[in-house]
Structures are given as structure tokens and as C-alpha cells.
Amino acid sequence: YGAVDGVGKGRSEEVDPYYDVEADEEVCRLPGKTVFATVCLYLTFVAMGFGTGWSSNDSIFQELNKFIERYDDLQFASDLVFASSCAASMVLVLAFVGLYCNPSRYDLRSLGFFEGTIGTVLGVSCLVQFSLFMFWQRSRYVVLACAFMGAMIGNIQAFIIYPFFNAFYRLELIAYMNMGETLTSMTCGTLALAQSPTVGVENFSVQTYFTILFGLTCMAASAWGSLAWQTGFRRDADEVDSPQDLSPQDLSEEEDD
């Protein structure tokens, strides 16, 4: 309007009530960076869902015929099912006793325990895939132990990670974690088809199969570690990256306030 130092023709002296001075002075952010950060965050939770899902068990059962040929035992399938069932029962009992009965008086329903559980599960998942591609031919008990640990990983996701996810992270992120869990079956099945598309054809070995999955699992664990440099994934938008504690003591204090 040609105003100089607040005085000029055509400039109104009245203050516009809809004019936001703070918003006008805020530094402009590039939309591309925001979109890139959001995509990276979503991919991180997809990777976490993949690493904490059923990739270990799915990969083992996809290679079941190779195990039967190697150990010449038609009962091996039932042994794998038995090991997986034992793992499911153990996780269910431990989750009920540790999280709900709480005999140790130490509250486990906290952010530190939750994220520590996810990190541990991802590490064990990498170890399972490493053991499979290195030692699956050495002993059948290696495969059974890996099936047991793989079933524990999947059930920990079902009984611990899923129920407490919304307490600590934004609600929409659970959909991306579920997408990662779904990708476990698709990835293992696609690799198995690429390995042996028809009877008598084997494009790559069992060791290569587990090596690929080991690499994918390590990538998932690395992606989860990248949360240390990401923000905006906590449950409460007003308390971004602040710990959320669900201990009964803290809840009672909030009710008193």
C-alpha cells in the first residue's frame, strides 16, 4: 500500500482481529521435507511390524519339504507345530503373570519396557534367521529351536505389542505395523515360489533363502533404531516424544488432580 513506517495512503490503523502475527513470522517449512519425514516414519513402523511378526515361522514352514528331505522324517512337521504351540502357551502365561498379576511389584506397562521389548524381539528375530541360514543342515534341533523362538516372537507381537501400542504411539501407526506383519507371509511365500516355481526346479538354495530374510530382518531392526532421529510418533500430539506411563500409581494421581 505504499506505507512507510506504518503511515501511508490506503493503510488502515485498525488491527485486523483475524491477522496472526506469530503465524506470519513463523519460518516457512518446505512441504517436501515434511512429506519425506512422514513417509520415513510410516516405513519405520512397517519394518517394525515385519521384524516382530511371523517371518521366522513363515520362513520355516515354507521350507518344510526341504527339512523333511534333509532329516528323512515325515513327523518333522508335527514336531514344528508342537514347538510353536508350546511357545504360544508360554508367551500367554508370561504376559498374563508379568503384565497383569505383577508379582514382582515392578510395573511393566511403561514406555521403557515396551520399547525395550520391541528392540529385544527384533534382535532375536535377526538371531533366528542367522541361525537358520548358518546351521539348518547341522541338526534338526536347531530348526526346532528356531521355530520355538519364531513362535514366541509372533505371539509377543499379538499379546504384548498390539494391546499396548495405542497407549504410546499415534493411532494411525498401528495400521502400518499391521501392514508389515502381513508382508511377512507375502514375502516368505513369494521367495519360496521364486526358489522353486515348479516340481524339480530350485533356483537358489535354502541357505540363500534364509540369507535374504536375514538381510530383511536386519533392515527392519535398523529402521526401528532410526526412531531416535524421528519425531511425531508419540500418542499425544501435545507431548511429542514424551514418555507415557500407564502405571496404576500415576493413573490414580491423575484422577486425584
Averages of pLDDT over runs of 10 residues in the chain (257 residues) are 46 51 44 77 93 93 92 89 92 81 69 88 96 92 95 92 87 92 93 88 91 95 88 63 46 50
In angstroms, the CA 244 to CA 184 distance is 29
Which cell numbers hold the place of 126?
535377526
Q: Pick from 57, 217, 210, 77: which is nearest to 140 by CA?
A: 77
Residue 240, phi-psi category: left (phi > 0), alpha (psi -120 to 50), beta (remainder)? beta
* Torsion angles phi and psi, residue 148, rounded to 5: -65, -50
pLDDT on residue 178 = 94
- Asked if 177 and 45 touch (Cβ cutoff 8 Å), the reply is yes
Distances (CA, A) of 249 to 70, 110, 114, 159: 55, 12, 18, 23
Which cell numbers hold the place of 156?
509377543
* Torsion angles phi and psi, residue 4, rounded to 5: -125, 120
- Asked if 46 and 179 touch (Cβ cutoff 8 Å), the reply is yes
In angstroms, the CA 76 to CA 54 distance is 19
pLDDT on residue 257 = 52
Give, in degrees to the nearest 5, the angle at Cα 196 between 192 and 200.
150
Indicate the pTM of the whole model: 0.75
Residues in the chain: 257
- Asked if 97 and 196 touch (Cβ cutoff 8 Å), the reply is no
Residue with cell 502381513: 182
- Asked if 243 and 111 touch (Cβ cutoff 8 Å), the reply is yes
Which cell numbers hold the place of 43?
516405513
At residue 96, the 3 state secondary structure works out as helix
